[in-house]
Amino acid sequence: MSKNKFSSFFNSYYELVSCKLKNVNNEDLFKASSILAKAGKRSSKIILAGNGGSAAIASHVSIDFTKAVGIRSINFNESSLLTCFSNDYGYDQWLSKAIEFYADENDVVILISSSGQSKNIVNGAKQALSMDLPVITLSGFSKNNNLKKLGSVNLWVDSLEYNIVESVHQVWLLSMVEHLIDNKRG
């Protein structure tokens, strides 16, 4: 392949990601950030979860919320927890049980699923809602996916490509981190 073909591919790819990043209602980002800020003021925590690449995003962002923003955050990426709860309650229910055991009143739950169809993530949202916890969802693929129907705030990427959806989710979450840091500065 020629250098120009590589350059053309990457330029097109970055334009696509940029377009998807901008295709968000900024009011939804502000609303989600406000929910998170309230959790911090109440000394509540943020619980983040996802599968695969979304789990990695949850892990990264939970550290940033804790360290950079000062809001306690956890994620459920410990293999012993995941395998124990999956074994005892079934994979579709492990996250709902983790939320049941670890969530406290006024916590906020952020759930990430590229497809919005992951049964464990959808069941986690249902559990959080049954506990009256605000749920922020990040999904992609179908605009009418199951996860998107359950959130207090729903951030959706109009794409069927995992890497596009996951890249946009990470940037949106990190933009909320930066927004909260900026608000702390005054």
pLDDT of residue 144: 95
State both tokens at 160: 């069927």
pLDDT of residue 3: 65
Nearest 5°: the CA angle 25, 183, 77 is 70
pLDDT in tens, 45-80: 999 999 999 999 999 999 999 999 999 999 999 999
pLDDT in tens, 15-39: 999 999 999 999 999 999 999 999 9
Residue 169 reports pLDDT greater than 80: yes
Tell me what the pLDDT averaged over the chain comes to. Answer: 95
Could you tell me the domains of the chain?
A: 3-185 (3.40.50.10490)
pLDDT of residue 183: 86
What DSSP designation does 2 have? -
pLDDT of residue 125: 98
Positive or negative torsion for Cα 99, 100, 101, 103: positive
pLDDT in tens, 126-159: 999 999 999 999 999 999 999 999 999 999 999 9
Query: Which region holds residue 152: left if phi is over 0, alpha if psi is between -120 and 50, else beta?
Result: alpha
Residue 1 reports pLDDT greater than 70: no
Residue 24: strand, helix, or coil? coil
pLDDT of residue 108: 98
Q: Of 113, 102, 112, 94, give the one whose Cα is nearest residue 72.
A: 102
Using CA atoms, how far apart are residues 43 and 6, in angstroms rounded to an integer?
A: 49
What's the whole-model pTM score?
Answer: 0.94
Positive or negative torsion for Cα 180, 172, 125, 94: negative
Residue 12 — very low, low, confident or very high, per pLDDT cuts 50/70/90?
Answer: very high
